[in-house]
Structure 1
Amino acid sequence: MKAFRKLLILALIVLACGAAVFFFGWTQFSIPAGKYGVMLSKSGGYYRQAITPGNFTWRWERIVPTNAQILVFDLTPRPVHYAADGSLPSADLYSKVLNTKDNFSWAFGIDALVTLKSDRLVAVVEKDTIQTQEMLESYIDSHIQAALQTIMYRYVSELIDNTYEYQQVKTDYHTLSEKIKDELSKATEPAFSVEAVTLTKLTIPDIHTYKIAEQAYNLYEQQREMLLAETAAKEAQYSASEQFQIERLTRWGEFLAKYPHIIELIAVAQQDSKAALDALKSVEKKQE
């Protein structure tokens, strides 16, 4: 009887230990419903498969205390917003030339609903050392916004050059939204699934008016350069003439300082030519 009790107790202990091992190794117990997990262990690094809801996963790394941790993430579709604005080159200058309120600016806003695929979760977490949900959301936002920026900048450039197409887009955002969705899906695959894309704002400047303003400004600059060149030539001519006058007066000053009697001759010459001749003879006698 005692042997049976000992055997029963031993069996219960073994069963309890087995249950404990099974419990600690069963990774789903650490993950809330609807969430996904990535196991990171000191002994083996990142487990290559994401721990997904409804799929049984047992890992021995979890048995060793403090050896492994489960990083929990929410992979429900995430809304991402991106907006940008700007102006065409030299828009401020051209607006002043035409004296118009049109500032030749462009702007757009777009909303996207995206999901990081569960089979890409481990690779993303490992590559970018992501530890929290906030870090994962920041990763999603930055990648989707970068892709949207490339796509939308190209569309803005194309619509600026094609005003007819822009007029069509203004009345039907849905068609362009679907095009952007297709391009975003191609640009972000295979990591992301794009659920929806909605264009919320689109403003394109009048390129025809802009080109007129550009031509007017270029003409203005040409005329301005011509006037500046003419003014500079006149200033140079005046400066050269003034310098010549100064040099001439300097030479006269040196001459009169050397021959002071010439001053008397000049004064007399202004009144009487005969008297000037007599003064000249008088000067010659004084020099003798």
Structure 2
Amino acid sequence: MPPPPAEVLPEAVDRVAMARLYGEPLFALPQDLYIPPDALEVFLEAFEGPLDLLLYLIRKQNFNILDIPLADVTRQYLAYVEQIRKTNLELASEYLLMAAMLIEIKSRMLLPPKKTEDGKEPEDPRAELVRRLIEYEQIKLAAARLDALPVIGRDFLRAQVVIEQSLTPRFPDVDSDELRAAWQDILRRAKLTQHHTITREQLSVREHMSIVLRTLQGRKFVEFEELFDTTRGTPVLVVTFIAMLELARERLLEITQAEAFAPIYVRLAYQPS
């Protein structure tokens, strides 16, 4: 009997390499090429445990989960367990436990049923398995619904808006008691330098409003006391104070104070450009 013909390797066509090995062209398969048995292993289905596999077999063939044909399901189950036993014996152990349970349930179904002590019909041997399968399926569907919900960082990002704050310092409003105390201090100081010359002077609030605005023009802050001329007597001080209050009411100037009991400052109101 003639020996079998040697394997014919594909020849290079027009010197086109079949592959490249470490950058070098390969025009023929190496004679000593070794491919491990597990190198081309393909997993068509992945299950999370024995119940997952059993539920898959039942739903794939549209079996009634309340009336499981154990013979067909057990045969298919054992075929899958035999496949994974060849590659991963540790993983197959928990599947073998479920296989033993299926065989035990099938054996109990083949035996004549025994009535209970109170005369009732015995429970279906598949009842416990059906209960576990239904509970597992409910948990699996709930997990799938939770996984389908939008997740921050995976399906959407939280919007972030950066708002630039104004660089202009915001001073607290001046308390009316402190403003009154400052006014009383002005009057006290005016009495120390007042004259007893009796004169009649026409005082205009509008005129003193203009004087206050001219004093503040071109200056960032002016101390409260600097706006009053204590040498001209109390009437001028009163009119000046009224003029300042009127300007504050019309939002033409601002009265500010950095903190409680700190000096009071007056400045022109900020006008945006």
Please state which structure has a larger fraction of its residues in strand: 1
Interval containing the TM-score (normalised by the shorter chain):
under 0.3
- Of structures 1 and 2, the one scoring higher in RCO (CA 8 A, sep 6+) is 1
TM-score (norm 2): 0.24
Please state which structure has a larger fraction of its residues in helix: 1
